[in-house]
Amino acid sequence: MDKKGMLYLCATPIGNLEDITLRVLRVLKEVDLIAAEDTRQTLKLLNHFQINKPLISYYEHNKSERGKYIVEQILQGKNVALVSDAGTPGISDPGEDLVRLCIERDITVSALPGPVAAITGLILSGMPTGRFCFEGFLSVNKRNRREHLEQIKNDPRTLIFYEAPHKLLNTLEDMYSILGNRKIALARELTKKFEEVIRCSLEEAINRFKQSMPKGEFVLIVEGADPRRLEKQKHQEWMNMSISDHIYLYTSQGIDEKEALKKVAKDRGISKREVYALNLKNKK
C-alpha cells in the first residue's frame, strides 16, 4: 500500500504577520495542498510570504464533503496543511472535525504551535492564569446563552470567551445578570497596531458599550466565582433547610445516612449527635 501523507495543523498570526513561525512557513512551502477556513485571508498570507501552493476551502458549511476529500488526498500520499483565518486551527472552528476524521483513518496529525487569541488575551488580562476554562462563543440564542452561563456561574476558574461586536452588549448584560458584577478584561485587535485591553467591571463594560459601538472581535476574560462567596451562599441555603431536608440532600445522591449525618454536622458546625437528635425530633 502506498505511504499515507500527513495533516499539519498550522497556526497563523492573529494580527501581526511577524508572529508566524519558521516551521509553519517551511511546512506551507512543502505541502501538496493547503486547506483554509477563509481562502481570501489565507491567500493574503501566502502572497506576503511568496508561497504558491494549491488552496482549497474548508469551513463550517462544507466541512463534511470537503473533509472526506482531504482525507482521500492524504490517503493517496499527499501532505495537507490546515489553517484557520487567524490563530490555531481546531480552536472554535471546524478543524477539530478534520482532526477526528484523520484519527479515525489512522492518519498522522502534526500540530505546529503558534498564536491563540484566548491565551494571548488571558495573559494580558491580569486575571489568575493557574486555572482557566475556555468557553468559546456563546449562543446567539438568548435562552441558550443564559443556560450556558448558569451552568458555569459557580466555576472558580478564570473564564474565557470569544465574542462578535454585534453580540457583545447582549452577552455582557446576560453575564452581569447571572454572574454578578465581576471583573472582566475585554481584549481586541490583539497583536495589531491598535491593540486594546479594557480592564473593568461588567457593569462598567456595559455602560461603556451602551455609549460607543464595539468594533472588532473580542476575547472576554471573566473573573471566576469567589469560593468564599459560594461557601457563604451554600451556608445560607443550608440554614434555610430543615435538618431532614439537609440530610436528604446527601442521601438523594446515594450517600448512606451515617455519612450524610457527618456531612450535615460539618456543614452546620455542630456535632453529629446534635444532628441526629434534631432529625429525630423532626420525625416525631
Q: State the chain's mean pLDDT as an integer.
A: 91
Same domain, 126 and 108: no
Same domain, 122 and 211: yes
pLDDT of residue 156 exceeding 70, the answer is yes
Task: Tell me the percentage of the chain whose pLDDT exceeds 90.
Answer: 77
pLDDT band at 256 (very low <50, low <70, confident <90, very high): confident
Same domain, 122 and 110: no
Compute the distance between CA of residue 150 and CA of residue 135 in angstroms, rounded to an integer: 13
pLDDT of residue 242 exceeding 80, the answer is no
**Can you give the C-alpha Rg of the chain in angstroms?**
25
pLDDT band at 41 (very low <50, low <70, confident <90, very high): very high
| Residue ending a domain, choose from 184, 208, 224 | 224
Q: What is the CATH number of the domain that holds 25?
A: 3.40.1010.10
Q: What is the CATH number of the domain that holds 186?
A: 3.30.950.10
Same domain, 277 and 263: yes
| Residue ending a domain, choose from 59, 86, 115 | 115
pLDDT of residue 151: 96
Q: Count of CB atoms within 10 A of residue 211's CB? A: 7
pLDDT of residue 24: 98
pLDDT of residue 236: 63
Compute the distance between CA of residue 214 and CA of residue 210 in angstroms, rounded to an integer: 9
Q: Domains in the chain: how many in total? A: 3
pTM as predicted: 0.80
Compute the distance between CA of residue 279 and CA of residue 41 in angstroms, rounded to an integer: 68
Q: Is residue 102 part of a domain?
A: yes
Same domain, 110 and 126: no
| Residue ending a domain, choose from 99, 115, 131 | 115
pLDDT tens column, 72-131: 999 999 999 999 999 999 998 999 999 999 999 999 999 999 999 999 999 999 999 999
pLDDT of residue 228: 76
The position carrying cell 458555569 is: 152
Q: Is residue 151 part of a domain?
A: yes
Q: Is residue 207 part of a domain?
A: yes
Same domain, 14 and 109: yes
pLDDT band at 273 (very low <50, low <70, confident <90, very high): confident
- Listing DSSP states for the chain in one string gives -PPP-EEEEE-B-SS-GGG--HHHHHHHHH-SEEEESSHHHHHHHHHHTT----EEE--TTTHHHHHHHHHHHHHTT--EEEE-SSB-TTSSSTHHHHHHHHHHTT-EEEEE----HHHHHHHHHTS--SSEEEEEEPPSSHHHHHHHHHHHTT--SEEEEEE-GGGHHHHHHHHHHHH-S-EEEEEESTTSTT-EEEEEEHHHHHHHHHHS---S-EEEEEPPP-HHHHHHHHHHHHHTS-HHHHHHHHHTTT--HHHHHHHHHHHHTS-HHHHHHHHHHHH-
Q: Which range (55-59, 153-157, 228-232) has the least confidence?
A: 228-232
Same domain, 199 and 102: no
Same domain, 127 and 207: yes
pLDDT band at 274 (very low <50, low <70, confident <90, very high): confident
pLDDT of residue 237: 64
Residue-range definition of the domain harbouring residue 186: 118-224
Same domain, 211 and 167: yes
pLDDT of residue 61 exceeding 70, the answer is yes
Same domain, 26 and 94: yes
Same domain, 33 and 71: yes
Query: What does the pLDDT average to over 198-214?
Result: 96
Q: Is residue 1 part of a domain?
A: no
Compute the distance between CA of residue 225 and CA of residue 205 in angstroms, rounded to an integer: 18
Compute the distance between CA of residue 28 and CA of residue 80 in angstroms, rounded to an integer: 9
pLDDT band at 212 (very low <50, low <70, confident <90, very high): very high
Same domain, 68 and 134: no
Yes or no: say if 175 and 202 are a contact pair by the CB < 8 Å rule. Answer: yes
